[in-house]
Structures are given as structure tokens and as C-alpha cells.
Amino acid sequence: MKKNTMMRLASVLLICVLLTTSTISGTFAKYVTDGSGEDYARVAKWGVTVTSDGVTFDKNYEGTDATKAAISHDNSVESSDEWKVVAPGTTKNATEFSFEGAPEVAYKVDFEITNLALNENWSVDGIEYCPIIFTVEGEKYYIGKDTTITDKATLIKAVKDAVVAVSDSYKPNTPLSSVDVPSVSWEWEFEADTLAGYQSDPKDTALGNKAAAGAAATIELSVKCTVTQLD
């Protein structure tokens, strides 16, 4: 008896489903309606911040420990007016940059020396003399380095080219905090180590005397950092 009941139930179910599907197929055949497709996107994040203290030269420079002890004063070089100064034994980093942001686009970080100028007073007895050494990513550039750097003009060009070469590109979502900031610095050696044979105490003294007489040699150095989206 149970078995017959199950079979009967299954048969009834089968008939019901067949009737239902007949109805459904007719309903599908009459289906006419509208349809819509939609999509949206948000603007990709940029949010890059580059900051720099903008200080390439100083008015005061700290002396060595021995000098401090000898003069009982921290600074071995101090400007007497509003001018910032350079002198034998002074040095400073020219690229103190800090970055923030993680753009959702690929980008390039460019460094560029927008201004590097050495005026006409870098001379002794009418002969050009500039003992300033520029270091870019550990590579030193100075007059007499090689046959390509023989005077101020070629020195300036070599330093500018070296700074441009350290520009780099990054994938989307790379935090700018991980960007390698190239080290660019200048130095006037106290002792002629690198510029042996070119730099000398009498020549350095002559430049100092010219400055005291109001004909100071001047140096201008500006480094710019630009972050640009890559296409």
C-alpha cells in the first residue's frame, strides 16, 4: 500500500510539473521588456606631496670637535651679514626632500638642477679657480676630474646631467616614501685631497681676500623634484 501511495504521489507530481512547464514556456515566449547595463568608476588617486627645506647653503657651519674645543664655539664659519657663505671645510646636502602619497597610477620622479651658477669672481690672478666639488649619488664632479670637465661651464653641465640621470619610474600604488632620493651635495675641501695639484691654500686665501674686498665669488644651486604620471 505504501509503495502504491508513493508511486501515485510521484505520478501526480509529474503531471503537475508538466502542466506548469507548459504554462511557463508560453510565458517566456511572451516576454518583452527593457534591459539596462551600467557601470561606474572613480577617479584614480594621486595625492603626491613633495616637501623640501630648500636650504642648500648656510650662514653658519659647525666646526670639527678639535676646532670646537680650541675656540670654545660650535661654529667654525659664521656669516657676518645676511649672506649665506661657503668656505674651505664647508659642505651641505642639496636634496633634502620628503615625499608622501601612493598614487594609483604609474609615475616618474625627476630631479633637476634648475640653477647652478658660479660667478666671475671664481678666479685668482685672472685665472679661473673654483675648488667646489659636487657629489651626485657618490660620484664626484670637479674641475680637472677628466678631460670633459676643464672649467666652470663644463663642470656645471656635468653636474646637471648627472642629476637628471637619477630620475626613476615607479609602478602604480608604490608609496613615494620608498622613492630613493638621490644625494646631491657640494663641498669645499679644507685640505686638497681630491683636488691635489689644483687646489691650494694660497688660492683659497686669495678668494677669501677678494670676498673681504667686496668681490666675493658666489654660487647658486637649486634642485627641483617633479613627480609626473606616466602614460
Partner 1 sequence: MQRSGGKNRWLWLAVLFLFVFVAASAFILMGRLSSYLLDDSGAIALIPVQEFSAPDALASNSIPLQQAEQSSLVTKEPAAENHTNTPAAPPAAPGFEASDDSKVWSTDTQVDIFRVSYENGEGTITVHSNDGDRLIAPGTENTYAFKLKNTGNVSLDYTVEVDAFVTPDGTPLPVTGRLSRYDGKWLAGAPDTFADIPALDAAADTGTLSAGRYTYYTLDWLWPFENGNDALDTMLGNAAVDDDLLFTIVIRTVATASLDPEAPGGIIPPVDTGDDFSAALWLALAICSLFLMAVLLVFHIREKRRA
Nearest approach, Cβ of residue 33 and partner 1 (Å) = 7
**What is the contact mask toward partner 1 in residues 55 to 94, using x (rule: CB under 8 A)?**
----------------------------------------
Region of residue 76 (phi > 0: left; psi between -120 and 50: alpha; otherwise: beta): alpha
Degrees to nearest 5, angle at CA 217 with 146 and 87: 80
**Between 28 and 180, CB nearer to partner 1:** 28
Largest CA distance in the chain: 129
Contacts of 115 (CB under 8 A, 6+ apart): 220, 221, 222
Give the residue among 80, 155, 152 at the shortest CA–CA distance from 121.
152
* Residue 51 touching partner 1 (CB under 8 A): no
26 near partner 1, judged by CB under 8 A: yes
What residues form DSSP beta bridges with 128?
Answer: 123
230 binds partner 1 (CB under 8 A): yes
At its nearest, how many Å lie between partner 1 and the CB of residue 50? 12
Quick check: 215 binds partner 1 (CB under 8 A)?
no
Question: What pairs with residue 223 in β-bridges?
Answer: 113
Site string for partner 1, 161-200 (x = CB under 8 A): ----------xxx---------------------------
Residue 193 DSSP label: S
Q: Is 36 in the site for partner 1 (CB under 8 A)?
A: yes
Beta strand pairing call for 219-229 and 184-188: unpaired
- The helix/strand/coil state of 211 is helix
Look-up of cell digits 664655539: 73
Considering Cα of 153, then 155, then 159, then 165, what sign does the dihedral take? positive
Question: What letter does residue 83 receive in the DSSP assignment?
Answer: -
Number of chain positions touching partner 1 (CB under 8 A)? 47
Taking the complex as a whole, how short is the minimal distance between the CB of residue 230 and partner 1, in angstroms?
6
- Is residue 105 part of the contact set for partner 1 (CB under 8 A)? yes
- If one asks whether residue 1 binds partner 1 (CB under 8 A), the answer comes out as no
Considering the rule CB under 8 A, would residue 12 count as an interface residue with partner 1? no
Residue 78 vs 100, nearer CB to partner 1: 100
Q: Which residues bind partner 1 (CB under 8 A)?
A: 2-3, 6, 10, 13-14, 17-18, 20-22, 24-26, 28-48, 101-106, 171-173, 229-231
